[in-house]
Amino acid sequence: MKLKNRTAVITGGTRGIGRAIALAFAKEGANIAIIYSGSVERAQEVCSLARKNGVKALSYRCNVADFSETEGTVSNIYTDLGGVDILVNNAGITRDGLVMQMKEQDFDEVIAVNLKGAFNMIKHTARRFAKQKSGRIINISSVSGLMGNSGQANYSASKAGMIGLTKTVAKELASRGVTCNAIAPGFIDTDMTGAMPESAIEAAVSLIPQKKMGKPEDIAALSLFLASDEAGYITGEIIRVDGGLYI
């Protein structure tokens, strides 16, 4: 198994992409720490499914936008599971609206969770990764951060910021044996996209050369590769998984 005896932390790990990553990692032998802010029932379900692979799986309610709360949660994970080898920053929210109509609070909240949340998690694990001279950091960005998207100034800015964060962290930690890469998903079939009107979904799919939405498992498969020993010489990369949307 590719991740046997390793421990992975996944933020936003109760549904969609985060859930798929957590379960894929568990199948490959990784102990799992799920960080969530919503449904405890969803968190317990993911942990229960992960444990069927003979691994440890624990969940932690935490607002990743809160620096102190994140620090305490990371400390608890280290105490409970004995260490961390892989960090996946997946937690994200949307507050869509045109710039002319967007409220300051909507902009700030998205940046706080999506971008500062990733910084907080990296900040509280980076020193430990550097000390153990190993670690994998995977940031879930978006093609919206590469190409922009009307009505998503806040979301696109947060995901573009993750790209800059990824490249900087990759440079800072490379000599310590730590890699940091980002995945930029395109239009993925999740609860977030499922809430869109059917007409909007059809319009979005029409722009994709493959003419279909991606699956959370597509992102999980790449995450698994980046977390494995096979990707040890890959760092600072932004890899699109978008069916050709942004070519």
Q: What are the residue numbers of the active site?
A: 155
Query: Do residues 221 and 151 make contact, with C-beta atoms less than 8 angstroms apart?
Result: no
Interacting residues of 196 by C-beta distance below 8 A, sequence separation 6+: 204
Strands (E), the chain: 7-11, 31-36, 57-61, 86-89, 135-140, 178-185, 238-241
In contact, 193 and 20? CB cutoff 8 Å: no
Distance between CA 117 and CA 112 in Å, rounded? 6
Q: Which two tokens stand for residue 67?
A: 């620096």
CA distance between the termini of the chain: 34
Residue 107 near residue 151 (C-beta atoms within 8 A): no
Give the 3-state secondary structure of residue 188: strand
Give the span between the Cα atoms of 135 and 120, in whole angstroms: 16
- CA–CA distance, 143 with 137 (Å, rounded to integer): 19
